[in-house]
Amino acid sequence: MKIGFVSDGVCPWNVGGIETIEYTEAASLAKAHEVHFFSLRWPGMKRDFIYKGIHYHAYHKTHRSKFYRHRRRSIREAIAFSLSIFNIFGYRFDVIEVNLFPVLHVPILKLYCKLTGCKLILDVAEVWDKDYWVRYLGAFAGNAAYIYATLFLKSADFYIANTSDTAERLIKKGVNKDVVGVFSPIIDDKRLKRINSIKKKRQIIFSGRLIKEKRIDKFIGVVKKVKGHVSGMNAKIIGSGPERAKIVRQIRRDGLADTVTLAPFYSEKKKNALYRDIKSSSVFLHMSEREGLGIITLESLALGTPVVLPSYSPIPNDIKEMCVVANERLLPSRIKNILNSKNPSAFIKNEETLRRFYISNVKNFYSKIFRDLGIGSGV
C-alpha cells in the first residue's frame, strides 16, 4: 500500500514527543509499504528525498525561530504549511495519517481524500476547548480557531488518540467511539527487557529537565521527610537545567548532601545506564506540575520501578492508574511503605495498560485499523 504521513514537525530534524511517535510509526510501516512524509522543511532537509526508507516532501522552509512566535505556534507558518500541502494532490495514497495540529490543513486533506478515495486518519494528542483557544490566541482569533477546529474535527475515517483522556474528549465532541483508537508507541519495550535484573536499593530517583515546573524543590522536601523513617535510603536526581544551582543550595541547606546525589543527563549512548539506575531504584518520584505523557514515567513502570505522583499531577489518567497517587501530605508515608517492601514492583497497578505504549505493537495496531477501513490485507 501507499501511506502518507502529514505533520509540520518531523523527526529527527525537529525532535519532540509527537514527532518521535510519528517517526516510529512511519519507520515501522515503511518495512512493508511505501511511506511518504509531508512536512515543513527544517534545517538539514532537502525538498524531496528518501531517508531510512521513507520518502520525504518538505516544501516550505522553516526553523524554530519562525515556527514559534511570542511563545506560541506561528499562525503565519501554519498557513504556509497548509498551503504547501496542496502538493499532495500530485500523489496517490491508500491512506494518510495527519497530525491534527495546526488544524488549518485538515479540510485540504479531507478534500484530497474525497476526490481520490483515500482514507483519512487523524492523529490527536490534544483536544482544546474554547477557553484554551482564547487563552492561546486571544479573544477574536481564539474563538475563530475554536469554531474552525470543531467544524473539521469530525472529518476523519479513524482517529488515533494518544491517551484515554484524549479519546474521551473526542467522543464528547461527537466522534463515534468505534473509530477511535488509543495508541502512543513511545516505549522501546524490547530494549528495556534486555536490561539485566538488578537488586532493588532503597533509592528514590528522578530524571528530567531541572526547570521550575518539575518541582525538584518538592522532591527534595519529600526525601527529607522520608529519610528519618527509612534506614539506609538515598535519592538520586538525574538532569540538567537552569534550576541546578538552586537545587544544590537546597540540598545543602536541608542537610541532605550525604543522601541526595545530583548527576547530569546520560548521553544517548549511555541510555542503558540510566535504565539500570531506574531499575535498581525502589521509587520514581515525579513531582512535576506540567507534563504531557511523561515518557520517563512509562519507562520506569516498564522497568518494574513504581512511580509515585502527587494528586495534582497533570499526567493522563491511564498512566496515573498504574502509579501510586496521593495527596502531598501523604506521599512520604506511601514512599516509606514502598522502600520497606521486599517487592517494590508489586505497587505497580494495571500493567497491561503499558502495551498501548510499546513500539513493538505498531504492526498489530495498524493491521487492525487497515482491515477495519477495508484498505488492504493489513501490515
* Banded model confidence at residue 94, pLDDT cuts 50, 70, 90: very high
**Strand (E) positions, 185-323?**
203-207, 234-238, 260-263, 283-285, 307-310
Domains of the chain from N-terminus onward: 2-185+358-373 (3.40.50.2000), 190-350 (3.40.50.2000)
Q: Return the DSSP state at 356.
A: G
Of the pLDDT bands very low, low, confident and very high (cuts 50, 70, 90), residue 109 is very high
Average the pLDDT over each of 62-76, 176-190, 350-364 and give the range with the smallest value: 62-76
pLDDT greater than 70 at residue 362: yes
- Of the pLDDT bands very low, low, confident and very high (cuts 50, 70, 90), residue 379 is low
Q: Mean per-residue pLDDT for 206-229?
A: 94
What pLDDT does 64 receive?
A: 84
Find, among 341, 342, 337, 336, the residue nearest to 228 by Cα.
336
Q: Would the pLDDT of 292 be above 80?
A: no
Q: Is 358 exposed, middle or buried (0-12, 13-18, 19+ CB in 10 A)?
A: buried
pLDDT of residue 46: 96
Cell numbers at residue 199, please?
537488586
Grid coordinates representing 81 are: 504549511
Grid coordinates of 351: 500493567
Q: Is residue 184 helix, strand or coil? A: coil
Residue 113 near residue 96 (C-beta atoms within 8 A): yes
Reported confidence tier of residue 311, pLDDT bands at 50, 70, 90: very high
Q: What is the DSSP string of 331-354?
A: HHHHHHHHHT-S-GGGG---GGGG
**102 preceded by a cis bond (ω within 30 of 0):** yes
Rounded average pLDDT over 356-371: 93
d(CA 166, CA 175): 12
DSSP state of 274: H
Q: Give yes or no for a contact between 306 and 324, defined as CB atoms under 8 angstroms apart.
A: yes
Distances 12 to 18, 108, 122, 292 between C-alpha atoms, Å: 11, 26, 21, 20
CA distance 366 to 379: 7
Percentage of the chain modeled with pLDDT above 90: 79
21-25, 114-118, 156-160: least confident range:
21-25
pLDDT at 186 over 70: yes
Q: What is the average pLDDT across 316-342?
A: 95
Dihedrals phi, psi of 90, to nearest 5 degrees: -85, 0
